[in-house]
Structure formats: C-alpha cells, structure tokens
Structure 1
C-alpha cells in the first residue's frame, strides 16, 4: 500500500476532504493518520504523483511526499 505525507490536516473534515480527493484519482481504502500526516491507500493502477500533488494542493493542504 502506497503512503504519502500531507501537512495541514487537523480534523475529520480534513480527513474527508483528502479521502474524497484521493478517491477521485482512483485510490481505494484510504486511511489517514492525523498525527503523522500519513495517507495510506490502495490503487488498482499507479496514480501519477503530480496528479496527487495537484489534488492535495487544490483542496488547501501541502503534499510533502
């Protein structure tokens, strides 16, 4: 399962926003740890890193990698 790090999440609303953004890109089983900023997910096909960065930035968070 791939894991990325996202800064700026602090609540359930943040988790919902990031989860929905990732699901729109084709991610499934998105799991988010607010303390660490880790976003873990399953993908059927590789999701382009630039697309993830753009989606996360567009909703107001910082994609760290």
Structure 2
C-alpha cells in the first residue's frame, strides 16, 4: 500500500471515530432531566376559549402562551388551547391572563 492510500485510510478511520463519538457517546442536544431550582414535573391543562374565530386568533393565543416561562404549547385551535406547564414557573391564572390579554375569554 502506498503512502497516499495509508493517509486516506487514516483520515477515513478518524472521521468514523469522530462520528461514533459525536452521535453515540456525546449525545449532543441532550438536556438534563432536571435543572437546579426547577421541577421536571409538568401539568397539562386544556382551556376552553370563547371569541376565537380564525387562524389569526390561533396565532395570537399561541404566541402569548409561548412567551411564558416553563410553558410548552401542545396545540391551539379555534376555541381550545392545550399546554403543559411547570407550576413552579407559571400558574394557571397567569396562563389564563395571557390568553385574556389577547382579547379572548377563558371559560374553563
């Protein structure tokens, strides 16, 4: 085997070792299960909302909820919003207030 073949082989092996390390050993993007001072428990809540009539309404409610800390918006459709939230960071009343600040009424 000539020198060029050896170099190409070594570069290939190094690239494969990096891929194995990056994707299987380092687990990029993995978030810790809990962060100091925050609970990992989330509460799921579905709000019935009056006054929504179009996709602009859906977008307005979605944006308002996403601005709150600890909130994961699961779905928003005309008349309803489902979220998972961390009660240690935000309360149900704050979620309701964010929706109502957009001009809608939370009925449940």
TM-score range, shorter chain: 0.7 to 0.9
**Partner residue of 1:59?**
102
Count residues in correspondence.
Answer: 62
Secondary structure at 2:82 match in 1: strand
Superimposed CA distance per residue, residues 20-40 of structure 1 (whole angstroms, 9 cap, x where no aligned partner):
111112321331231xx2211
Unmatched segments (≥5 aa) in structure 2 = 1-43
Runs (4 or more) in structure 1 with deviation over 4 Å come to: none
Taking the aligned partners of 1:25 and 1:5, their CA distance within structure 2 comes to 19
**Partner residue of 1:21?**
64
Unmatched segments (≥5 aa) in structure 1 = none
C-alpha RMSD of the superposition: 1.5
**Partner residue of 2:52?**
9
The structure with the largest helix share of the pair is 2
TM-score (norm 2): 0.50
**Partner residue of 1:38?**
80
The structure with the largest strand share of the pair is 1
TM-score (norm 1): 0.77
Give 1:42 deviation, angstroms: 2.0
**Which one has the largest radius of gyration?**
2
Relative contact order: is structure 1 or structure 2 higher (C-alpha 8 Å, sep ≥ 6)? Answer: 1
